[in-house]
Amino acid sequence: MEKQIEKIFHRPARPGMVGDGFRVFNYFPNEQITQQRISPFLLMDFNAEFDFGPSDHLRGVDVHPHKGFETVTIAYKGAVAHHDSTGNSGVINPGDVQWMTAGSGILHKEYHEKEFSKKGGPFEMIQLWVNLPAKDKKADPKYQAITADQMGKVILPDNGGIVNVIAGTFNNNKGPATTFTPVNMFDIRLNKDGKLSTQITTDFNTILLVVNGEVVVNGAKAGEHDFILFKNEGEEINISANKDSVVLLLSGEPINEPIAQYGPFVMNTHRELQEAFAEFQSGKFGVLE
């Protein structure tokens, strides 16, 4: 049985700025898509293609804390550098993914990579926040640098395109990311008239973003930057491309626990949020210049 579509949302009307280097459209959370409804996902910011122009100033987001969840940055165009208070640093280029587990607390900064910043050019990224269950919110911070060539690769028949499996399993092909709860994350590149079919567990919360192009999903047309929220009914997802298209398909097992969020801290109770803020102020998240 095909997975039923609950609603198709168009791109939010106006972007917002995160720091001075990320011009993002926020797809959730909002009044229509709550964090509980979309669990284990907490947030999706989409920096639709935009040329910031050349700059000697490294645009981005300066030092900031995180605790209790994971950030996942998917690079489509441009390059992002990052540093954190555990000593990790790196650069993600088109096709790469930066998967950071904030866990018990971390300081982080991210910005346009130096050479990219000097030249300028198209910049396109997605950042997701993925929740951690209560038992893992104090996990040691860690970082997974997943390059394009490390992805699980599924070549679609009839020159249909390719699926880059970031996390979870697509038609028996596993992705490299390790996750605390079951999560599927598929970067799908379809050629014109390309098709794919896959199955997602019925009770997994499932969403799809059309990054570029135009597709038909379970009989419904979705245009560029449209966002699909699926019902928790049925398992099969069929996608066909009306033109060359890039699609991000996400699903995950819900974490049925309370969510308490204050800015970059995501815990289970208000008291835990107060503790997280006190830890940050006392320097327990380390030091990052």
What confidence score (pLDDT) does residue 205 get? 98
Q: What is the DSSP string of 4-36?
A: PEEEEEPPPSS-EEETTTEEEEEEESSSSS-HH
pLDDT at 144: 96
Percent of the chain with pLDDT strictly greater than 70: 100
The CA distance from 153 to 201, in Å, is 21
Query: How far apart, in Å, are the Cα atoms of 117 and each of 52, 81, 123, 145, 239?
Result: 9, 11, 10, 21, 36
| Global pTM value | 0.98
Q: Is 279 helix (H, G, I), strand (E, B) or coil?
A: helix
Q: Is the peptide bond before 176 cis (omega within 30 degrees of 0)?
A: no
The reported pLDDT for the residue numbered 97 is 98
**Model confidence over 119-163: pLDDT tens digits?**
999 999 999 999 999 999 999 999 999 999 999 999 999 999 999
The three-state DSSP-derived secondary structure of 31-42 is CCCCHHHHCCEE
Q: For tokens 């917002």, name the residue.
A: 16
pLDDT of residue 173: 97
Mean pLDDT over 90-103 rounds to 97
Q: What per-residue confidence (pLDDT) applies to 181? A: 98
pLDDT tier, 228 (very low <50, low <70, confident <90, very high otherwise): very high
Measuring CA to CA, how many Å separate 10 from each of 94, 131, 228, 244?
Answer: 25, 25, 9, 19
Please write the tens of the pLDDT for every residue from 229-246.
Answer: 999 999 999 999 999 999
**Mean pLDDT for all residues in the chain:** 97
pLDDT at 164: 98
Q: What percent of the chain has pLDDT over 90?
A: 100
Residue ranges of domains in the chain, CATH in brackets:
5-252 (2.60.120.10)
Name the token pair of 18: 């995160």
pLDDT of residue 185: 98
Q: What are 33-48's pLDDT values in tens digits?
A: 999 999 999 999 999 9
> Which of the four pLDDT bands, split at 50, 70 and 90, describes residue 87?
very high
pLDDT category, 218, cuts 50, 70, 90? Answer: very high
pLDDT tens digits for 48-84?
999 999 999 999 999 999 999 999 999 999 999 999 9
Rounded CA-CA distance 145/147 in Å is 6
Confidence of residue 8 (pLDDT cuts 50, 70, 90): very high
pLDDT band for position 266 (50/70/90)? very high
35-73 burial: b if 16+ Cβ within 10 Å, else e = beebbbbbbbbbbbebebeeeeebbbbeebbbbbbbbbb
